[in-house]
Amino acid sequence: MAETNTQAETVAKKSKGWFKGLKAEFHKINWTSREDVTKQTIAVVVVSVILGLLIAVIDFLLQAGINFLVSL
């Protein structure tokens, strides 16, 4: 019974140390500012919309061209 308690205490100490190390590593991370994240998000949305519109226009033109060729 004493061995079980000792093993449990050892596991608890190791876990506690691991979480302390994890917390220390999280404090070392250079997080991106909210302003930068907002700017990058807007850039991604704008580029996605532009590319979506470009693909839609190309699709429409190809479809119109194929329909024209089929109707000949």
pLDDT in tens, 19-45: 999 999 999 999 899 999 999 999 999
Q: What angle do CA 31, 37, 39 make, to 5 degrees?
A: 145
Q: What is the pTM of this model?
A: 0.60
Total domains, the chain: 2
Quick one: 57 and 70 in the same domain? yes
Q: What is the 3-state secondary structure (H, E, C) of the chain?
A: CHHHHHHHHHHHHHHHHHHHHHHHHHHHCCCCCHHHHHHHHHHHHHHHHHHHHHHHHHHHHHHHHHHHHHHC
Q: What pLDDT was estimated at residue 30?
A: 92
* Cα gap 50→32, rounded to integer Å: 26
Question: What is the residue range of 2's domain?
Answer: 1-30
pLDDT band of residue 8 (cuts 50, 70, 90) is confident
Structure confidence at residue 35 (pLDDT): 97
Same domain, yes or no: 24 and 51 = no
Query: Over 90: is that where the pLDDT of 48 sits?
Result: yes
Structure confidence at residue 3 (pLDDT): 61
